[in-house]
């Protein structure tokens, strides 16, 4: 785990299971239809319960780069913010990924949350290169923490494996 202070707020990177994080919200790397079958999304519903999928079904379609919120069921977090990142090769991936992060942060603000945990959005089955994802996510988080008046006190990236962590650590060390 690594931490840095930015404007009296904590930016953290860790290796772990995002479904075990006790932040106010965890971010789910979601698809447009919020069907949580596999990957991070599947694990979140498996541990959090069917209420997450039921609320997601009521929300319906979420455009790429946008985010939606559900309760977190049995998870330690209170909320799941479902961020729809881009699929590698569809075009404008950098802009869409940045927007997915910013819109997740805006949702956290709307709910008055103090802490949020992100996965490496779009780096799994969506095929975005891990170095690309790490660069955009870290830069977007740092820019947000520097510029925005925010109720968020802690923003973390919870990374599933050592390989992904190394890419995030490389970007984190540039701050």
Q: What is residue 69's predicted lDDT score, i.e. its pLDDT?
A: 98
pLDDT at 163 over 90: yes
d(CA 107, CA 25): 10
Domains recognised in the chain with CATH numbers:
2-172 (3.40.220.10)
pLDDT digits 0-9 by tens, 59-83: 999 999 999 999 999 999 999 999 9
- Kindly give, in sequence order, each residue whose CB lies less than 8 Å from that of residue 19, ignoring residues fewer than 6 positions away: 26, 43, 44, 47, 48, 75
pLDDT at 87 over 80: yes
pLDDT at 147 over 80: yes
**∠ CA 112-70-84, rounded to 5°:** 95
Q: What is residue 148's predicted lDDT score, i.e. its pLDDT?
A: 67
Confidence label for 39 from pLDDT (cuts 50, 70 and 90)? confident
pTM, to two decimals = 0.97
Tell me the residue length of the chain.
175
- Mean residue pLDDT of the chain comes to 96
Q: What is residue 169's predicted lDDT score, i.e. its pLDDT?
A: 98
């Amino acid at each position: 785990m690594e931490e840095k202070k930015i404007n009296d707020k904590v930016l953290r990177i860790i290796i772990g299971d995002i479904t075990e994080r006790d932040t106010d919200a965890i971010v789910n790397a979601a698809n447009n239809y919020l069907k949580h079958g596999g990957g991070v999304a599947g694990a979140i519903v498996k541990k959090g319960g069917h209420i997450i999928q039921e609320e997601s079904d009521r929300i319906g379609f979420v455009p790429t780069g946008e985010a939606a919120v559900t309760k977190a069921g049995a998870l330690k977090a209170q909320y799941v913010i479902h961020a729809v990142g881009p699929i590698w090769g569809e075009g404008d991936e950098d802009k869409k990924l940045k927007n997915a992060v910013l819109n997740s942060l805006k949702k956290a603000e709307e709910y008055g949350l103090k802490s949020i945990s992100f996965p490496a959005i779009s780096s799994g089955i969506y095929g975005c290169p891990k170095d690309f994802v790490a660069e955009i996510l870290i830069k977007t988080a740092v820019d947000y923490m520097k510029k925005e008046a925010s109720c968020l006190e802690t923003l973390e990236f919870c990374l599933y494996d050592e390989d992904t962590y190394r890419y995030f650590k490389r970007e984190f060390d540039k701050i």
